[in-house]
Amino acid sequence: MAKGRSATSPRQTGPSATHSYSKHAASLLSQRDALMAEIAILRSRAKVPHSSINKVGTLLTRYWSKANWQTREEILRAARWLLNVGKMQSLTGATKVR
């Protein structure tokens, strides 16, 4: 019996996998940079709660540096969520989410 490829797709290896990985990493870094820029803008506004902004900043600096790429994706999702909560608080005038 001749050996053939299995029904499952093989893992990518070689230059295309490396390029794809680099492209994904660059995308995550770009998203982080955009969030950091948004934080800077929101910090200048008095209405946005600084606690939410500070938490996002901590996620994108302290926790980001120790994380692998998969965890960094999760950090980006959490950071976006926190920024949206902060924006909603500023629109509704609420100071705390309970």
For residue 78, how far is the Cα from the chain centroid?
Answer: 7
Give the confidence band of 14 by pLDDT, cuts at 50, 70, 90: low
Tell me the domain boundaries of the chain.
19-92
Kindly state the average pLDDT of the residues 29-42. Answer: 94
Reported pTM:
0.72
pLDDT tens by residue, 36-76: 999 998 888 767 778 888 999 999 999 999 999 999 999 99
| CA–CA separation, 93 and 87 (whole Å) | 10
pLDDT value of residue 45: 76
The reported pLDDT for the residue numbered 4 is 47
